[in-house]
């Protein structure tokens, strides 16, 4: 540590490896299969070099501040969160993207480790950045190159968590950051995490929220729609079709915010469709996939919950909240939880 209390890190590039559970070819096969079923789930927007570049660009645009606002909230509350993380815990982050939130987290954890083990000067932290896009895993590993932690990147799906977990050493702090939690059916993702965590592990995630219900919610909903229907986000959503040869004039993008029932009451959920306006073909690897005018491709969704609804889902799915942080405008939250005993 230097005189200002900041930890300075030199170049450390050993202890870095990567395991591929899902290959690029498998992802391409899934893309073909989904399109044949008139579906384009959101994870396919992040694939390939183009998908990685597009997400990083979208994340920087003023019109789409979702993940950035969550990062600000994390930075603001870092010290309080880190206090809850026992020394020696491994950090597992699924859907890691460029790994910048994890870098912030790891720096703080290393600092805490060093302060607690001042005599030995040793840090014992393992980091597992995980993503379906191998390029994100590389970027995330690169981002922590000079931190004294052991690193193992994994390319794979969160849905294959049982296979992923063979690779990591417990106890873990399991992270899902960047509003990825809201791209899943809540009980599906919470049950998946619950089944695969053990006592002693922690769960940490963030969510971009609907700040309020009631009459004032109207203007909030308009602003949610504004974010998701921004030109930048629409281009991001169209990318796979454009990449494989469709013309922007060949289809229309529609996004609605629907009110749907759930076990915690009515929640909001985006509904996205691509309407094919002209007979057209996509060339993906060896495959050619044809669409006819009038076809509709169903896309992924994002849930918009209130903070209390997220807490209720955690309770239903067997989690105990250790600490929750809500931004002043109630539009962003980060939550640290564990399996209820």
Ligand X SMILES: C[S@@+](CC[C@H](N)C(=O)[O-])C[C@H]1O[C@@H](n2cnc3c(N)ncnc32)[C@H](O)[C@@H]1O
Q: Which stretch binds ligand X (CB under 6 A): 155-163, 220-228, 236-244, 263-271?
A: 155-163
Closest contact distance (angstroms) between CB of 43 and ligand X is 3
Q: Which is nearer to ligand X, 46 or 291 (CB)?
A: 46
Distance CA 274, CA 39 (A): 9
Q: Is 46 in the site for ligand X (CB under 6 A)?
A: yes
Angle, vertex CA 28, rays to CA 99 and CA 49, nearest 5: 40
Q: Which is nearer to ligand X, 105 or 268 (CB)?
A: 105
Considering only residues 177 to 206 of the shown chain, the ones binding ligand X according to CB under 6 A are: 177-180
Q: Is 157 in the site for ligand X (CB under 6 A)?
A: yes
Q: Is 144 in the site for ligand X (CB under 6 A)?
A: no
Q: Indicate which single residue of 54, 133, 233, 270 sits in contact with ligand X (rule: CB under 6 A).
A: 133
Q: Is 97 in the site for ligand X (CB under 6 A)?
A: yes
Could you give the string, one character per residue 161-180, with x where binding to ligand X holds by CB under 6 A and - elsewhere?
A: ----------------xxxx
Size of the site for ligand X (CB under 6 A): 21
Q: Which is nearer to ligand X, 96 or 172 (CB)?
A: 96
Q: Is 22 in the site for ligand X (CB under 6 A)?
A: no
Q: Which stretch binds ligand X (CB under 6 A): 9-17, 153-161, 259-267, 320-328?
A: 153-161
Closest contact distance (angstroms) between CB of 9 and ligand X is 22
Q: Which stretch binds ligand X (CB under 6 A): 156-164, 279-287, 312-320, 327-335?
A: 156-164
Please give the residue whose beta carbon sits closest to ligand X in the complex: 178
Q: Which is nearer to ligand X, 159 or 287 (CB)?
A: 159
Q: Catalog residues that contact ligand X under the rule CB under 6 A.
A: 43, 46, 55, 59, 67, 94-97, 101, 131-133, 136, 157-159, 177-180
């Amino acid at each position: 540590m230097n005189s200002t209390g900041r930890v300075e890190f030199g170049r450390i590039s050993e202890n870095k490896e990567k395991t591929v559970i899902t290959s690029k070819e498998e992802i391409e096969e899934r893309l073909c299969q989904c399109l044949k079923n008139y579906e384009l789930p959101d994870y396919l927007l992040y694939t390939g070099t183009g998908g990685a570049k597009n997400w990083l660009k979208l994340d920087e645009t003023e019109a789409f501040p979702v993940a950035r606002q969550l990062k600000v909230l994390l930075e603001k509350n870092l010290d309080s969160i880190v206090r809850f993380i026992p020394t020696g815990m491994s950090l597992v982050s699924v859907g890691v993207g460029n790994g910048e939130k994890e870098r912030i987290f790891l720096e703080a954890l290393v600092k805490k480790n060093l302060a607690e083990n001042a005599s030995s000067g040793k840090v014992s932290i393992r980091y597992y950045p995980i993503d379906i896009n191998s390029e994100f895993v590389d970027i995330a590993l690169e981002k922590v190159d000079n931190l004294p932690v052991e690193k193992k990147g994994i390319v794979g799906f969160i849905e294959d968590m049982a296979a992923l977990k063979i690779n990591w050493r417990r106890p873990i702090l399991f992270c899902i950051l960047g509003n990825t939690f809201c791209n899943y059916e809540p009980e599906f993702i919470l049950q998946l995490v619950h089944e695969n965590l053990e006592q002693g592990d922690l769960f940490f995630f963030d969510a971009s929220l609907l700040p309020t219900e009631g009459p004032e919610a109207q203007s909030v909903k308009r602003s949610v729609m504004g974010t998701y229907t921004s030109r930048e986000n629409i281009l991001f959503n169209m990318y796979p079709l454009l990449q494989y040869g469709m013309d922007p004039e060949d289809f229309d993008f529609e996004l609605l915010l629907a009110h749907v029932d759930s076990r915690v009451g009515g929640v909001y959920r985006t509904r996205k469709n691509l309407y094919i306006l002209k007979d057209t073909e996509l060339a993906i690897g060896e495959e050619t996939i044809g669409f006819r005018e009038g076809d509709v491709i169903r896309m992924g969704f994002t849930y918009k919950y209130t903070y209390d609804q997220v807490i209720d889902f955690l309770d239903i799915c067997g989690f105990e909240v250790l600490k929750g942080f809500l931004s002043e405008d109630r539009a962003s939250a980060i939550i640290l939880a564990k399996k209820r005993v």
